[in-house]
Amino acid sequence: MTERTGRYALLLAAALALPSSVPAASPDTLRLSLADAVRLAFDRSPVITQAGATRTGGLTTLGRGINGLLPSASGSVGYSWTRGGDSTTSGWTADLTVDQVVFSPSAFAGLVTAVVGNSHSRTSARDQQARLAYDVTVDYLNLVRYDRLRDVAGAALRRAEEYLELTRAREQRGLASSIDLLRAEAQEAQARLGLLEAEQDLAVGTETFKATAGLGRGAVVVPTESLAGPRELEVPDPDSLVAEIERRNPGTRMAARSRTVARVNMAATVGSVLPDISLRWQRSSGGGSLPGCLTEWKDSGTTSYGLRATLPLLDLKRYVLDVVDAANDSRRADATARMAGLQLHSTAVSAVGAFRSARQRFDLASATLVLNERLHELAREQLRLGSISQLDFLDVEADLVGAQASLISSVCDTYVQAAYIGYLLGSTPPDNP
C-alpha cells in the first residue's frame, strides 16, 4: 500500500467512525462481518437446498443413462385349469428372460446425454451457489453503505442543529438577519429529512439482506465490516482476467454442454434406422403340477440363448422430419453457445473496466474529501470572523456531506465490482470468502 493510499484509508476510517445510532442488542441481534454473512447465507438460504436438489437430479439422470446399458430382466408366472366334460386339466407356466444390450444407438446416446446432463447439473448447482455468494455480498455491502450513510446524515443533522442554535443567538444580538435564521432552519429541516431517508434506506436494505441470507423476520442485523480501504484486486493484465472468466464461467460451460447434448441427439436420430442388438437368455418351465423343490423346477423347463435384433419399421417421412428437427435443435444450440460466449466476453470486459473505474473513483473521492474537510474548517473560522456569508458556508457544508457520502459509496463499489468478477469466475466459498 502506497503512502497516499494509506492516508486515504485513514481518512476513510475517520469518515466511517462517525457515531452510529445502532439499535439496542436483542437476543436475535446478529453482528456480522462480510465473511460471516456469506457463511450464514450458505447455511440458511433456500438456494443451497435448490442447488442440492439440482445436483441430485443430475445423479438420477446419470443413473437412468447407465441403466439403459445394464441387463434387463422380465418374468411371468401363470397357472390355469381347463374343464371339459367330466375331466379337468390344469398346468402352470413360468418364464424368466434376461436381455443385455450389445448395440443400440438410442441407449448409447442416452448414456452420453446422461453423463453430459449430470455435468450440466453440477455446473448449474455451482452457479446457483456462486450467485448466492454474489447476491449476499452485494446486499451486505449495501447494508454497510446505508449504515454509514445514516451516520453521515446523523452527523450532518447535529452540525445543522448546532449552527441553528448559533444563528438564533446571533439573530437575538442583531448579528444575523431573519434571512440568515430562515436559511439555518431550512438547512436543519433538510438535514432531518436526509436522516429520515437514510434510516428508511437502511431498513429496506436490512430486509433485503435478511431475505437473501434466509434469516427470520425478527432478526436484527448489525454489519461490523469496517471497510477501512478499497478492495484490492490486482489486474495487471485485463485481457488475461477476461480469458480466465471465459474459461471458468458456469454459464458458457452449461451452454457448451447443451450444444453437446443436441449434437448427440442428432447423431442418435440419424442412427435410429439401425437395428438394436441384444443378447437374450430365457428360461421356460411348465407342467401339470407345481414343482415341490428346486430340482423338479430345473427338470421341468428349458433354457435358451440367442441374439436378438430389433429392426425399426421404415417410415421415411417421419424419419426425415425427425432428422430435420434434430439438426435444427443442434443449430439452435450452437447459436446459443456462441451468443453466450460473445455476451460473456462483453460482460467480462465491462466488469474488469468497472472495477478499475471504481478504484479510480475511490482515489478521487479520497482526495476530494481531504479538500472539503480543509475547506470546511476554513469556512467555519471565516464564518466566526464574519469573512464569508452564511450562504457560502451552507454550500461548503453541503459539499462536505456529499464528499463523505461519495467516499463511502466508492469504497463499497470496489467490493461490489470485485464480487461480480468472482461471480463471473464461478467462485464460491471458500474460493471467494
Residues 372-421 have pLDDT tens digits of 999 999 998 888 787 888 778 888 988 999 999 999 999 999 999 999 99
Ranking 6-10, 26-30, 33-37, 254-258 by mean pLDDT, the lowest is: 6-10
Q: Report the chain's C-alpha Rg in angstroms.
A: 37
Does residue 197 have a pLDDT over 80? yes
Mean pLDDT on 354-361: 92
Query: In whole angstroms, what is the distance from residue 163 CA to residue 169 CA?
Result: 10
Give the model's pLDDT for residue 20: 43
Ranking 4-13, 135-144, 291-300, 311-320 by mean pLDDT, the lowest is: 4-13
Query: In whole angstroms, what is the distance from residue 354 CA to residue 166 CA?
Result: 45
Query: In whole angstroms, what is the distance from residue 300 CA to residue 280 CA?
Result: 20
| Domain covering 71-103+276-310 assigned CATH 2.20.200.10 in the classification | yes
Query: In whole angstroms, what is the distance from residue 254 CA to residue 131 CA?
Result: 15
| Domain covering 3-69+106-273+315-424 assigned CATH 1.20.1600.10 in the classification | yes
Query: In whole angstroms, what is the distance from residue 379 CA to residue 218 CA?
Result: 46
**Which amino acid appears at position 245 of this protein?**
I
Give the model's pLDDT for residue 73: 87
CB 82 within 8 A of CB 89: yes
**Which amino acid appears at position 190 of this protein?**
Q
Look at residues 368, 357, 298 and name the one whose alpha carbon lies nearest to residue 12.
368
Q: Which residues pair with 81 in a beta bridge?
A: 90
CB 21 within 8 A of CB 154: yes
Does residue 107 have a pLDDT over 50? yes
C-alpha to C-alpha distances, 140 to 127, 216, 270, 365, nearest whole angstrom = 20, 16, 53, 22
Phi (first) and psi of residue 389, to 5 degrees: -80, 160
pTM value?
0.79
pLDDT band at 352 (very low <50, low <70, confident <90, very high): very high
* Entry field: residues in the chain: 433
Cα angle at 142 between 138 and 146, to 5 degrees?
175
pLDDT band at 38 (very low <50, low <70, confident <90, very high): very high
Domain map of the chain by residue range? Answer: 3-69+106-273+315-424, 71-103+276-310
pLDDT band at 57 (very low <50, low <70, confident <90, very high): very high
